[in-house]
Amino acid sequence: MPEPRRYILLVDDDSLIVELLTTRLTAQGYEVSTAANGEIAYQKVQSRKPDLIVCDVVMPKVDGPTFCRRMRAEGSTVPFLFVTAKGQPHDIVEVLAAGADDYLVKPFESSELIARIGAILRR
């Protein structure tokens, strides 16, 4: 029996990045759902638990770290991989302290993102 497709929730308010990453991840065999902010993402997680959340930091309404902290406070162990333009050490520390599993600074190569996703999902 074939292995079920892994489900990734992609949370980012930049429609170009969402379109690019959705295309690349789908081509790698992942099932992808998207949300433009942490509020929408939280609603989606309530109906279906993703295998991984790829999330931006800065977004309208509910930002990435706030969304991640909320999920962790509720006991969620879903891995979070943050992708963001904020690459200063204090930014990285803040997101890791919020419960992130990994952090990738934009711009990045999609091959590196896909490799990091694979590594996280193997755990």
Per-residue pLDDT of the chain (123 residues; tens, 9 = 90+): 456 689 999 999 999 999 999 999 999 999 999 999 999 999 999 999 999 999 999 999 999 999 999 999 999 999 999 998 988 999 999 999 999 999 999 889 989 999 999 999 998
pTM above 0.85, yes or no: yes
CATH entry, 7-122, from 2.40.30.10, 3.40.50.1100, 3.40.50.2300, 3.90.1300.10: 3.40.50.2300
Work out the end-to-end distance of the chain between its first and last CA atoms, rounded to an integer number of angstroms. Answer: 22
CA distance 86 to 104: 9
**CA-based torsion, 89, 90, 91, 92: positive or negative:** positive
Where exactly are the structural domains of the chain?
A: 7-122
